[in-house]
Amino acid sequence: MTQDDKTKTLDIQPDQGRRKFLNTAALVGLSGAGLSVGLSACKKEEAAAPAGTATHAAAGSAGGVHLKPGELDTYYGFWSGGHTGDFRVLGLPSGRELLRVPCFTPDALVGWGITNESKKVMGTKPDGSLKYTVGDTHHTHASYKDGNYDGRYAWINDKINSRIARIRLDYFVCDKITELPNVQGFHGIFPDKRDPVDRKINYTTRVFCGSEFSIPLPNSGAGMEDTKKYRSLFSCVDAETMEVRWQVMIDGNCDLVATSYDGKLAATNQYNTEMGVHYEDMMSVERDACAFFNIARIEAAVKAGKTRTFGDSKVPVVDGTRAANSDPKTALVAYVSVPKNPHGVNASPDGKYFICAGKLSPTATVIELSKVLDWFDGKLDNPDKAIVAEVEIGLGPLHTAFDGRGNAYTTLFLDSQVVKWNVDAAIKFHGGDSKAQYVVDRLDVHYQPGHINASQSETQFADGKWLAVGCKFSKDRYLPVGPMHAENEQLIDISGDKMVLVADHPVRPEPHDFIIFKRDLLRPKQVYSLDEFPLAVKDPKESGVFRNGKKVTVKITSQAPSFSLREFKLKVGDEVTLILTNLDKVEDLTHGFAIPKYNVNFIVNPQETASVTFKADKPGVFWCYCTHFCHALHLEMRSRMIVEA
């Protein structure tokens, strides 16, 4: 029996068909695309189990969600900001938003995109203006050591402009942004969990990035009509320097990315392996793929010079296409067949499996990583033999999380559910044990869930306490606020046998992926070190106006409730660089600095230095004032900027 036949004939388990899975429009859309594989089994109807609510008590409950005043959360959550282009920090289980870290787009609160330091990170045009002012963040992940988060860095992608940002977790600031060359639709992202070249290096050294859209290479205006030659690139970025180390040219595109715990494999699930341009062309074949990258072989090929470059980029590119990788003993990439249009690949905490879920197939595919390596070693004649389970779990499966007890949790977009299923039981069922009941529980969520993650799920220390799920539609969950509804992020207690829905949280559209980890893994600093800033004004006596022709430098310090310069004079036409250092050493004593009519506003945290550059083009008196409440005399904290005609 072929893998396709197994997908078509596997019957759904007794508790699977809890209600009609598809509304009429969705069913017509799928059948119109010619994708009826496996759908018939999901049309069975059974009585729906009641959804868990906040009033239900969970056996072995993970604890209260609503914290008392002064009580701290036990977990951090790192969230993508979506179209706002930022990185968000939440406390869990409360769901309280603690911080938004600006990355790809300007932020008026902190002056991101206003200060010279932030502009340098974001990237500017020759005239000094920002190169990009929009972003679309999807996936965020953090650095590892010994299979767990180490609190050094987090990374987040910008799908629109193919950029990757790094967040320093000591200060929660974005310190580097890299634009990937010859890439469009940068979507999936995941750091490696250890360096496979030197086993003594047990921490993250690379971040892997998938490109969702295939384009002509180079994309310089030639060959635009020959779509069969479009290609995608899978990229590797150095975790420390943030430079692109290498890229792999592949057939098809990339969606999400996962990495193995031994550092040997990275993977991306692929939809549109047909390399179609229009959506109907993207759904013309029965199955898609999960592409596995042999990291050591790729780096050896790069070192040996078996590479090429595209356009102006100097980044070495190796050939990972199917045609060039048919011999497993020399192949750089293995393509494992998975059901149609998968929308996720996730690594199980035990390090054994990657799980793909195909949103146009009611199945989840379990791929055993040791068998993928066996194919690379020539021990298997077909990479598809690495598939150890392909079982039906419901319609519209997308992303998967884990509890560390052998269970997986997958979102069912079309069914508005989360399904809990046991991986080992699924493998037994796939192997012919029809009595193996792999579906453990189901829970209605509201509505159309997408991304999902559990506490410590992405590590070898998954603790099975909390599960969060991002729902794309809120419908009736919140007060109406016009045509654009809030989206709904829900928190689920998974500490017992049954999932219990405990909280709803409205969120502005459209965030995506996130991670959840224990608070004791992170020790952020709350006061900067002056030595980190080359421009720091370390003593108020260093303040003043320093002129070199039309170029003027203004140095100021802030100590509540005053600025070191009560006033300073400029002339119309001056090119001014203003440097401000906050000399206060008390945590949470932040100052702001705003100049009316000059479009300047930024903050400096304790012991931080920031600078802005502007042209003094308007004569008059301009009251510069502190914009961040700092002292009982906060309103009186001012300086006069006098611009002489």
Model confidence pLDDT, tens digit, residues 279-307: 888 888 889 999 999 999 999 999 999 99
Chain CA centroid to CA 130, Å: 23
Q: What sign results for the dihedral spanned by CA atoms 481, 485, 486, 491?
A: positive
Tell how far CA 241 is from the center of its chain. Answer: 19
* Tally of CB atoms within 10 A around 108: 12
Confidence of residue 318 (pLDDT cuts 50, 70, 90): very high
Dihedral angle sign, alpha carbons of residues 398, 403, 408, 414: negative
pLDDT at 21: 35
- Enumerate domains of the chain plus CATH numbers: 530-644 (2.60.40.420)
The Cα–Cα gap between 368 and 583 comes to 56
Amino acid 61: pLDDT: 56
Question: Who contacts 579 (Cβ-Cβ below 8 Å, separation ≥6)?
Answer: 535, 537, 553, 554, 555, 556, 609, 610, 611
Which of 102-111, 117-126, 200-209, 552-561 has the weakest average pLDDT? Answer: 200-209
pLDDT tens-place string over residues 149-162: 999 999 999 999 99
- Per-residue pLDDT averaged across 508-521, rounded? 95
φ, ψ of residue 383 in degrees (nearest 5):
-65, -20
Please, what is the end-to-end C-alpha distance for the chain in angstroms?
Answer: 86
Q: What per-residue confidence (pLDDT) applies to 45?
A: 35
Tell whether the model's pLDDT for residue 2 goes beyond 80: no
Distance CA 601, CA 293 (A): 46
Pull the structure tokens for residue 110: 């902190």
Query: Where is 515: in which H helix or E strand?
Result: strand 514-518
When pLDDT is averaged across residues 162-176 and rounded to a whole number, the result is 98
In the predicted model, is pLDDT for residue 374 greater than 80? yes
pLDDT tens digits, 217-273: 999 999 899 988 899 999 999 999 999 999 999 998 999 999 999 999 999 999 988
Q: Tell whether the model's pLDDT for residue 88 goes beyond 70.
A: yes
Confidence class for position 63, pLDDT limits 50, 70, 90: low
Amino acid 228: pLDDT: 87
- What pLDDT score does 196 carry? 66
CA 129 to chain centre: 27
Residue 532 burial by Cβ neighbours in a 10 Å radius (0-12, 13-18, 19+)? exposed
Name the pLDDT band for 195 (thresholds 50, 70, 90): confident
